[in-house]
Structure 1
Amino acid sequence: MVEFFYIVKNSRGKKEKGSILANDETEAVRLLQKEKYVILDLYLKNKSLSKAGLSRGATQKVRRKKTVSLDDMRWFFDQMGTLLEASVDIIRALEMVAMHVKSEPLFLALISMKTDVFAGVSLADAMHKFPKIFPLYMRSLVFIGEQSGDLAKVMSQISINIEKSDSFRKKMVKSMIYPIVLISFSIFAISVFLLKVIPTFVNIFNSFDIEMPYLTSIIIKMSDILRSYILYIILVVFLLFIYIKKIVRVPKHRLKIDELVLQIPVLGELLLYSSLVAFVSSLHLMLSSGTTMLESLTLSRLSMKNLYLQMLIDKVRDRVKEGNSVSSRLKDFPIFPEFIVQMISIGEESGRLVDMLSEISKYYTKSLSDSIERFTVLIEPLIIVFVGGIIGVLVIGMFLPIFQLTNIAG
């Protein structure tokens, strides 16, 4: 028997070092797995074992973060697709990717997956241990790729889909930065005006003993309320934020919120298009890999974050199960654009549904980019006008008594 040295993580997440006697690498891996360890490294005294774990010291070469971003996932699937396309063994591919990944949770997941695959488990089954990193629809696509022999193609396509989603998310965040900064600064400026500036004006007005205009009286009252109850207001806002965050986690409330969000002008259209791009891209990939329509609908809906849209696709799937076409059932829900319904109908009638889904994905990818640009162009002047109007009313309200004093003096 041979003595193998190991570095593992136990069930409590703590690292352990030690050695184990086994006939070969495979037996050593299985013995450690039996103890529920996550293997970080497995090596002989002076020699690293390339197939049982990462090379000794490789885990120290990359400084890793504690989160998994969409960019990390895109990079993982892209690299795996490229390596598998180049006929690199899947175990070696996992090792090569893990050595350079920048996310600690993803790194640990890849090490565990590599160990499982080395022990004979399929890649999709190895991913099932990490549902927070690899959602069900991703794991299902990998399973389909393994079954069809097109794993490299599926991996690359998943990377493309993630890249689209991440690109739209970044564009949305970028388009919202200026409005958020402007609103935050405006709230700060208005608060300072109400808390500090208005009381100074009030003292001046009181010294002249004049009757305040109606608008000025309202503004002064607002200032008094804010100064008297500011701590309570902050507490209420904080508790309201916690409450909203809590109810969003309840499925029935989340379902209603997701439905209402889609009704918001412009923003609702952006969220709808983003969900449709994710759904259609996943549906296209699954159908092109040979998955049945019912299974494809079931899994593709999970690529959408909106629970309301997921529920509608569930209803479509149930009616398709009864023998109806997808396009005829989509018509039942006006929220789905007529273009999608017609294109899917043409695809079903011509037998070219996969091609039509590809065209739909391209069309809505462009439409989403255009919608984000329109949103950015529209929202900025609206916020400026709205905030400027509020500040203007406050300024006018405080200058009205001054005009009144001027008239009296005249």
Structure 2
Amino acid sequence: MPIFTCKIGTSDGKIIAREYDAVSADLLRQTLEDQGLTVFELRKKPLQFLLEKGGRRRRISAKDLLLFNQELLVLLKAGLPILQALDTILESEGGKLNEVLSMVREDVKGGMPLSVAFERHPRVFPHLYIASIQAGERTGDLPQTIRRYIAFLKRTEGFRGKIIAAMFYPAILITVAAAAISLLLVYVVPTFSQIYAESGSALPVPTQMLINFTGFLRHYLLVFIGIGFLAAGAFRRWKETESGRFAVDRMKVKAPFIGPIATRYAVAGFTRTLSTVLGSGIPIVEALRMSVGTLNNRVLERGLLSAVIRVEEGSKLSVALESIKLMPPLALRMLSVGETTGSMEEMLSDISDYFEDEIERNLQVLTTAIEPAIMIVMGVVIGTIIVTMYLPIFKIAGTVG
């Protein structure tokens, strides 16, 4: 997500500069103004890809954040004040969070609310998490808010783990197939070509074409690798631009078979996030704006932002989402029932479960089809290479016979 540098004015008259992750400048400006802040300056931070590559963006994994929240929840439930809970966590074994938590502790000790202390480290604590803590402070039930966020992290990370596991075996097959074909082209074919060259006999056209191809490949291999790196770098730079990111995200959505899975995955994350945020007591419009970024797709985000405007104007969420065709009719009916019965939080969670089940079924079909397809393609390619290289031997054997 892009980083924006902001100069903002607070309600007590202070002017401060901070950095935020946001989907777009317009959405960030709207979110800050909804929080009662005055935005004087907002600009995108330049050369962000260099900062990411150099590791200067300090981030923590979802696992570290989950562990921290589990410890914090146990200590708060035991009746410890926030400051003592932070002291106890800092006294335990060191981790990636300790440096940041030390600064958070000092801010809390100086009288700053926990959410504001977290907000000073937007690279470390996600905006969704900070907003949840703010909601917990407003309602006076911080442990319940943290418990809800822990459940959200466990579910989202568990589902992401299933996706990775489903694609792991096909990735291994593709890697092995590519290695086997590369070995044949770079080592086996040149060995045969040297033997045939020493014999001086005329080679069949397919064999000669394969030998010429492998010779060309070996001669210009470093050039191809260099071009590949340059193309990858240029593509990454282009993808960082707004138009490039939009074009890539459109291809993801429009891709056959993969597109619907990617869309369902994005919507599953969005609905689960929205359910968590609404359960924390955050108003619907603010919750929607906070949840937009979880789609991680410019095409879907643009459509959802138009739906958010309709909700802001008084439309029902189900009607607004129906207008952008983001969800299937069944999910929209479920959402409409949730709005009618006042149980939208639970219904959004059920919709997320529905999408996740659909994704698991689709991935199972995809991986089941991919595995034999990879084996067949690998067998055909390797078999063709081997038969092509043995054609001269078959020809000699036929002549002798």
TM-score per shorter chain, which class? 0.7 to 0.9
Please report how far the alpha carbon of residue 269 of structure 1 lies from its aligned counterpart in structure 2 after TM superposition.
4.2
Task: Please list the CA deviations of residues 117-155 of structure 1 after superposition, one character each: whole Å capped at 9, or x if unmatched.
Answer: 111111111111211111212211111111111221111
Task: Please list the CA deviations of residues 222-253 of structure 1 after superposition, one character each: whole Å capped at 9, or x if unmatched.
Answer: 20211110110111122222223333322331
Name the CA shift for 1:187/1:78 in 2 (closer, same or farther; >3 Å).
same
3-state secondary structure, aligned to 1:94: helix
Asked if structure 1 preserves the Cα contact closer than 8 Å seen for 2:59 and 2:123, the reply is: no
Counterpart in the other structure of 1:278: 269
- Is structure 2 residue 216 aligned with structure 1 residue 242? no
Moved more, 225-234 or 74-83: 74-83
What is the rounded CA distance, in whole Å, between the counterparts of 1:256 and 1:77 in structure 2?
A: 38
- Is structure 2 residue 67 aligned with structure 1 residue 75? yes
Task: Please list the CA deviations of residues 54-112 of structure 1 after superposition, one character each: whole Å capped at 9, or x if unmatched.
Answer: xxxxxxxxxxxx962111111122222333233321112222233336532x2111111
Counterpart in the other structure of 1:91: 83
Counterpart in the other structure of 1:123: 114
3-state secondary structure, aligned to 2:325: coil
Higher CA-based Rg: 1
- Is structure 2 residue 191 aligned with structure 1 residue 203? no
What is the rounded CA distance, in whole Å, between the counterparts of 1:303 and 1:103 in structure 2?
A: 27
Please report how far the alpha carbon of residue 377 of structure 1 lies from its aligned counterpart in structure 2 after TM superposition.
2.9
Q: Percent identity?
A: 28
3-state secondary structure, aligned to 1:334: coil
Name the CA shift for 1:378/1:92 in 2 (closer, same or farther; >3 Å).
farther
Counterpart in the other structure of 1:366: 357
Counterpart in the other structure of 1:179: 170
Asked if structure 1 preserves the Cα contact closer than 8 Å seen for 2:334 and 2:351, the reply is: yes
- Is structure 2 residue 244 aligned with structure 1 residue 253? yes
Name the CA shift for 1:330/1:85 in 2 (closer, same or farther; >3 Å).
same
3-state secondary structure, aligned to 2:79: coil
What is the rounded CA distance, in whole Å, between the counterparts of 2:139 and 2:360 in structure 1?
A: 34
Name the CA shift for 1:354/1:174 in 2 (closer, same or farther; >3 Å).
closer
3-state secondary structure, aligned to 1:262: helix
What is the identity, as a one-letter code, of the residue corresponding to 2:62? L
- Is structure 2 residue 182 aligned with structure 1 residue 191? yes
Counterpart in the other structure of 1:304: 295
Report the count of equivalent residues. 343
What is the rounded CA distance, in whole Å, between the counterparts of 1:210 and 1:149 in structure 2?
A: 88
Name the CA shift for 1:337/1:77 in 2 (closer, same or farther; >3 Å).
farther
Q: 2:137 aligns with which of 129, 139, 146?
A: 146
What is the rounded CA distance, in whole Å, between the counterparts of 1:339 and 1:221 in structure 2?
A: 58
3-state secondary structure, aligned to 1:181: helix
Asked if structure 2 preserves the Cα contact closer than 8 Å seen for 1:74 and 1:160, the reply is: no
Please report how far the alpha carbon of residue 191 of structure 1 lies from its aligned counterpart in structure 2 after TM superposition.
2.0
Structure-to-structure mapping, 1:221-232, within 5 angstroms: 221-232=212-223
Asked if structure 2 preserves the Cα contact closer than 8 Å seen for 1:113 and 1:127, the reply is: yes
3-state secondary structure, aligned to 2:220: helix
What is the rounded CA distance, in whole Å, between the counterparts of 1:160 and 1:251 in structure 2?
A: 34
Name the CA shift for 1:401/1:333 in 2 (closer, same or farther; >3 Å).
farther
Name the CA shift for 1:381/1:96 in 2 (closer, same or farther; >3 Å).
farther
- Is structure 2 residue 105 aligned with structure 1 residue 114? yes
Task: Please list the CA deviations of residues 160-180 of structure 1 after superposition, one character each: whole Å capped at 9, or x if unmatched.
Answer: 211222222222333333333
Using structure 1 for the length normalisation, give the TM-score. Answer: 0.76
Asked if structure 1 preserves the Cα contact closer than 8 Å seen for 2:304 and 2:324, the reply is: no
Counterpart in the other structure of 1:51: none
Please report how far the alpha carbon of residue 211 of structure 1 lies from its aligned counterpart in structure 2 after TM superposition.
4.3
Please report how far the alpha carbon of residue 297 of structure 1 lies from its aligned counterpart in structure 2 after TM superposition.
0.5
Q: 1:391 aligns with which of 353, 362, 382?
A: 382
Unaligned runs of 5+ in 2: 1-57
Please report how far the alpha carbon of residue 115 of structure 1 lies from its aligned counterpart in structure 2 after TM superposition.
1.3
What is the rounded CA distance, in whole Å, between the counterparts of 1:406 and 1:116 in structure 2?
A: 86
How much is the aligned-residue C-alpha RMSD, in angstroms? 2.4
Name the CA shift for 1:324/1:221 in 2 (closer, same or farther; >3 Å).
farther
Task: Please list the CA deviations of residues 280-309 of structure 1 after superposition, one character each: whole Å capped at 9, or x if unmatched.
Answer: 122112223332211110001223333333
Name the CA shift for 1:187/1:355 in 2 (closer, same or farther; >3 Å).
closer
Please report how far the alpha carbon of residue 317 of structure 1 lies from its aligned counterpart in structure 2 after TM superposition.
0.3
Structure-to-structure mapping, 1:42-53, within 5 angstroms: none
Counterpart in the other structure of 1:337: 328
What is the identity, as a one-letter code, of the residue corresponding to 1:96? T
Counterpart in the other structure of 2:313: 322
What is the identity, as a one-letter code, of the residue corresponding to 1:123? L
- Is structure 2 residue 152 aligned with structure 1 residue 161? yes
Task: Please list the CA deviations of residues 348-392 of structure 1 after superposition, one character each: whole Å capped at 9, or x if unmatched.
Answer: 233332231132133234334444444433332222222222212
Asked if structure 1 preserves the Cα contact closer than 8 Å seen for 2:335 and 2:348, the reply is: yes
3-state secondary structure, aligned to 1:80: helix
Name the CA shift for 1:108/1:283 in 2 (closer, same or farther; >3 Å).
same
Asked if structure 1 preserves the Cα contact closer than 8 Å seen for 2:152 and 2:276, the reply is: no
Asked if structure 2 preserves the Cα contact closer than 8 Å seen for 1:201 and 1:398, the reply is: yes
What is the rounded CA distance, in whole Å, between the counterparts of 1:245 and 1:100 in structure 2?
A: 41
What is the rounded CA distance, in whole Å, between the counterparts of 2:357 and 2:88 in structure 1?
A: 35
What is the rounded CA distance, in whole Å, between the counterparts of 2:367 and 2:68 in structure 1?
A: 32
3-state secondary structure, aligned to 2:323: coil
Counterpart in the other structure of 1:61: none
Name the CA shift for 1:84/1:339 in 2 (closer, same or farther; >3 Å).
farther
What is the identity, as a one-letter code, of the residue corresponding to 2:63? D
Asked if structure 1 preserves the Cα contact closer than 8 Å seen for 2:307 and 2:324, the reply is: no
Asked if structure 2 preserves the Cα contact closer than 8 Å seen for 1:248 and 1:254, the reply is: yes
Name the CA shift for 1:210/1:241 in 2 (closer, same or farther; >3 Å).
same
Unaligned runs of 5+ in 1: 1-65
Asked if structure 1 preserves the Cα contact closer than 8 Å seen for 2:136 and 2:280, the reply is: yes
Asked if structure 2 preserves the Cα contact closer than 8 Å seen for 1:101 and 1:107, the reply is: no
